[in-house]
């Protein structure tokens, strides 16, 4: 759990949701139900993809290496 990030990206389905939405869903991905071991802070994904926006679109799917 990274308390400093506002958004989590799910490694299994590629969707982004607010951290609070994951928490409200029992710390699971609201889209596919993956647990927190598959959750990556948005900042981590954005570091790999400089063209991704600082604020992601909630519920959108982003590939791990799609915006480099």
Residues that bind Zn ion (CB under 5 A): 10, 12-13, 29, 31-32, 34
Give 11 or 43: the residue with its C-beta nearer to Zn ion.
11
Q: 27-60 as b/e, with b when 16 or more CB fall inside 10 Å?
A: ebbbbeebebebbbbbeebbeeeeebeeebeeee
Least separation in angstroms between CB 20 and Zn ion: 16
Strand partners, 7: 18
Least separation in angstroms between CB 36 and Zn ion: 11
Least separation in angstroms between CB 68 and Zn ion: 22
């Amino acid at each position: 759990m990274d308390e400093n990030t506002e958004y989590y990206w799910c490694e299994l389905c590629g969707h982004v949701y607010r951290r609070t939405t994951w928490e409200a869903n029992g710390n699971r991905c609201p889209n596919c139900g993956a647990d927190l071991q598959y959750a990556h802070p948005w900042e981590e994904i954005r570091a790999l993809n400089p063209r991704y926006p600082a604020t992601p679109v909630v519920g959108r799917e982003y590939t791990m290496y799609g915006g480099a």
